[in-house]
Structure 1
Amino acid sequence: MEKSFKTFAFKPNEVVASIGASGGVWEIYFASQVENLTFYLQDIDENLCNQEEIEAGITFYEKFLKRAISGKFFSVIGTEYQTKLPYHTFDKVLILNSFHEFSFPDAMLQDIANILKPQGILFIEEQLASYEGEIHEGCLKALYREPVLIDFVIQFGFTLLKIVDKGNAVKIFSFQKK
Structure 2
Amino acid sequence: MKKTLILLLLLAPLWSCQGQTEKQEGPYTFKSGDRNGTGKWYMGREIAFVMGYQGMGWLERPEREKEENVSALLANMEIGPNDDIADIGAGSGYHVFRMAPLASQGTVYGVDIQNEMLAAMEYRKEALEASNVNLVKSTEKTANLPANSVDKVLIVDVYHEFSFPVEMMASIYQAMRPDAKLYLIEYRGEDPTVPIKETHKMTEAQAVKEMEAAGFKLVENIDNLPWQHCMVFAKAN
What TM-score do you get using the length of structure 1 for normalisation?
A: 0.82
- The 2-side partners of 1:142 and 1:77 are apart by 23
- What is the CA distance between 1:116 and its match in structure 2? 0.3
RMSD (Å), alpha carbons = 2.4
- The 1-side partners of 2:195 and 2:166 are apart by 20
Cα distance, 1:167–1:9 mapped onto 2, change above 3 Å: closer
Cα distance, 1:73–1:34 mapped onto 2, change above 3 Å: closer
User: In structure 1, what is the equivalent of residue 41 of structure 2?
Assistant: none
What TM-score do you get using the length of structure 2 for normalisation?
A: 0.63
Tell me if the contact between 1:23 and 1:41 (Cα under 8 Å) persists in the aligned partners: no
User: In structure 2, what is the equivalent of residue 56 of structure 1?
Assistant: 124
- The 2-side partners of 1:152 and 1:33 are apart by 30
Give the structure with higher Rg (CA). Answer: 2
SS in 2 for 1:82: coil
AA at the equivalent of 2:230: I
Report the more deviating stretch, 21-30 or 163-172. 163-172
- What is the CA distance between 1:57 and its match in structure 2? 5.4
Tell me if the contact between 2:99 and 2:108 (Cα under 8 Å) persists in the aligned partners: no
Structure 2 gap segments, 5+ residues each:
1-69
User: In structure 2, what is the equivalent of residue 72 of structure 1?
Assistant: 132
User: In structure 2, what is the equivalent of residue 12 of structure 1?
Assistant: 81
Greater relative contact order structure (CA < 8 Å, 6+ sep): 1
User: In structure 1, what is the equivalent of residue 113 of structure 2?
Assistant: 44
Q: Does 1:28 align with 2:86?
A: no
User: In structure 1, what is the equivalent of residue 8 of structure 2?
Assistant: none
- The 1-side partners of 2:203 and 2:106 are apart by 32
AA at the equivalent of 1:122: L
What is the percentage of aligned positions where both structures have the same residue? 24
Count of matched residue positions in the alignment of Structure 1 and Structure 2:
166
SS in 1 for 2:179: strand
- The 2-side partners of 1:169 and 1:13 are apart by 30
Query: Structure 1: which 4+ aligned runs deviate by more than 6 Å?
Result: none
